[in-house]
Amino acid sequence: MTPAAGRVSSEELRSHQWYGTDGLRSFSHRARTRQLGYLPEEHLGKPVIAILNTWSDINPCHVHLRERAQAVKRGVWQAGGFPLEFPVSTLSETFQKPTPMLYRNMLAMETEELLRSYPVDGAVLLGGCDKSTPALLMGAASADLPAVFVPAGPMLPGHWRDEVLGSGTDMWKYWDDKRAGLIGDCEMAELESGLARSPGHCMTMGTASTLTAAAEALGVTVPGASSIPAVDSGHDRMAARSGLAIVELVWQQRKLSDILTADAYEDAVATVLALGGSTNAVIHLIAMAGRSGITLTLDDFDRIARTVPVLANLRPGGKYLMEDFHFAGGLPGFLARLTDVLHLDRPTVTHDTLRAQLDGALVHNSDVIRERDNPLADEGGVAVLRGNLCPDGAVIKHIAAEPHLLRHTGPAVVFDDYQEMQRTINDPALALTPDHVLVLRNAGPKGGPGMPEYGMLPIPDYLLKQGVRDMVRLSDARMSGTSYGACVLHIAPESYVGGPLALVRSGDLITLDVEARLLHLDVSEEELSRRRAGWTPPANRYERGYGALYQDQITQADTGCDFAFLARPGDVPDPYAG
């Protein structure tokens, strides 16, 4: 980053309020810092940098971040800053139930309040697994200090016999093969040991890779950070470089609000769509933009989708994995092929302009990162649907669906919750055919609770054995970014609050038309009014605790599933430190 002419003095640092005055409180703060074993020369008059670390022993995506925090500290020390590591909530996509989405806003709150209440001048945010990236950036945006994001990085490619595996994507594929009787327990035991071979998040263009790429596109990482494999030595160097960068940001007082502009969010949306990224990014970017005081809508996603092609040939919609993408040029090379749709004169955490950051970026493999005249798809990978079944919108990752299902009319088969679906989906009495439309409700923000990744409803075993691998499936749930299929997601309003999905009955005809951006329930308004009059709201799931706060404050998918009291505008004063 080019040093700015107007660097602040050490007396203007935020931490000076804690350490630099003559009062009793500053005396106490200095004394307690000596108790921690630090010399005055190590911290007084230097930028204090919080390192927020989502490491834990049960988060395989982040299990290496304890070591990466040391590299960040090395960079901070080298740049003349004073690093302090803070443990924060870990959101383990693999293990946390009912879904880490239930706790995204909790980590956002923790991030915001920690940065506000301690004597820190800037922050380095260590995350990467699906919900941790938006949570950390939402909280940091609300606190509005200088900040740099360090992505956890993708794991190494999986291997099984002579096949290269993509975590998530190939899990779904081979699990269906097992249900279809094509492979057995021995093969599945081998797959268990080959699917996920190292620390790091999913190495497909799932939600984790999508959101870390969005963070890089926003300008809050050092260049190229989002695709470096987690166990590559370059990842350690990237972490140290992030430590160097944050100290300079503090001296310049370049806050997150200077980086996270409306132009930056538009570029992040374009990036996600051109990557063929996860549908989950729609919810998270809307929430992140809201914390930056910027209104981002489903209509913005659909508008931008029509202007960008899909250039990343990455699973689940394509062929390759994140390590291939990284060595093909990573996000800098990728963005260099989208410069005509990007806002190049906005700042990033390392450069005065995105234009300067992308200068010299190259693509080394044009099958992995396609040329503009040879896209994977002509339009962005996510479509926004409207209709009487989703008045506030729904989304579909159409590039990951079988093309013949993108215009389809069929009879609904309705499941009232995920447990019922699990119990009955293989019941031959349902007499399901490939033309049926599977409908799951009560799986949204309140109904899930937490909007779990239930949206890739399983195809019945007896249809899998006939060779059927995709059907139209509708829900108010999300699905894993590693998933695939003709899955309509995020239907809003959700059924749990009385949205039209609550009124669907088995046998109703439903039409999906992606080209027309339509999702329609072929039932008269008069009949829907009669059904609506007979609908009874379900009882609240939680009587106390965080769950009660969640169900009281959570917003719908189309507005980002933030808490209403966090999403609304308003000032929060800095604490008095003296």
Q: How far apart are the first and last CA of the chain?
A: 34
Cα–Cα distances (Å) from 506 to 9, 296, 415, 478, in that order, read 68, 35, 9, 22
Least Cα distance to 312 among 381, 221, 396, 228 occurs for 381
- b/e map 328-365, b = 16+ CB within 10 Å: bbbbbbbbbbbeebbbeebbbbbbebbebbbeebebee
Q: Would you state the structure tokens that stand for residue 110, as one six-digit string?
A: 């923790």
Q: What is the reported pLDDT for 3?
A: 44
Cα gap 380→384, rounded to integer Å: 11
Q: What is the DSSP letter of 384?
A: E
What pLDDT tens digit does each residue of the chain (578 aa) get?
444 457 999 999 999 999 999 999 999 999 999 999 999 999 999 999 999 999 999 999 999 999 999 999 999 999 999 999 999 999 999 999 999 999 999 999 999 999 999 999 999 999 999 999 999 999 999 999 999 999 999 999 999 999 999 999 999 999 999 999 999 999 999 999 999 999 999 999 999 999 999 999 999 999 999 999 999 999 999 999 999 999 999 999 999 999 999 999 999 999 999 999 999 999 999 999 999 999 999 999 999 999 999 999 999 999 999 999 999 999 999 999 999 999 999 999 999 999 999 999 999 999 999 999 999 999 999 999 999 999 999 999 999 999 999 999 999 999 999 999 999 999 999 999 999 999 999 999 999 999 999 999 999 999 999 999 999 999 999 999 999 999 999 999 999 999 999 999 999 999 999 999 999 999 999 999 999 999 999 999 999 999 999 999 999 999 999 999 999 999 999 999 98
CA-angle at 517, arms to 515 and 518, nearest 5°: 115
- DSSP-assigned states of every residue in 497-549: GT-GGGG--TT-EEEEETTTTEEEE-S-HHHHHHHHHT--PPPPS-SSHHHHH
Nearest to 305 by CA among 200, 205, 398, 187: 398
**Strand 383-385 and strand 394-396: pairing?**
antiparallel
Tokens for 223, please give them: 């260049």
Task: With 0.95 as the threshold, say if the pTM is over it.
Answer: yes
Could you check whether the bond before residue 83 is cis, i.e. omega within 30 degrees of 0? no
SS3 state at 371: coil
φ/ψ of residue 558, rounded to 5: -70, -15
Phi-psi region of 219 (alpha: psi -120 to 50; beta: other; left: phi over 0): left
Torsion of CA 49, 54, 55, 58, to 10 degrees: 170
Q: Which two tokens stand for residue 556?
A: 């719908």
Using alpha carbons, list the distances in angstroms from residue 455 to 278, 301, 462, 474, 478.
13, 20, 20, 7, 5
**Of the candidates 407, 428, 441, the residue with the CA atom closest to the CA atom of residue 538:** 441
- Sign of the C-alpha dihedral, residues 105, 568, 112, 489? positive
| pLDDT value of position 578 | 87
Half-sphere exposure at residue 463, Cβ-oriented, CA atoms within 13 angstroms: 18
Q: What are phi and psi of 473, to 5 degrees?
A: -135, 135
CA–CA dist 200, 215 (Å, integer): 17
Q: In angstroms, how far apart are the furthest CA atoms of the chain? A: 80
Residue 423 has which token pair? 């119990």
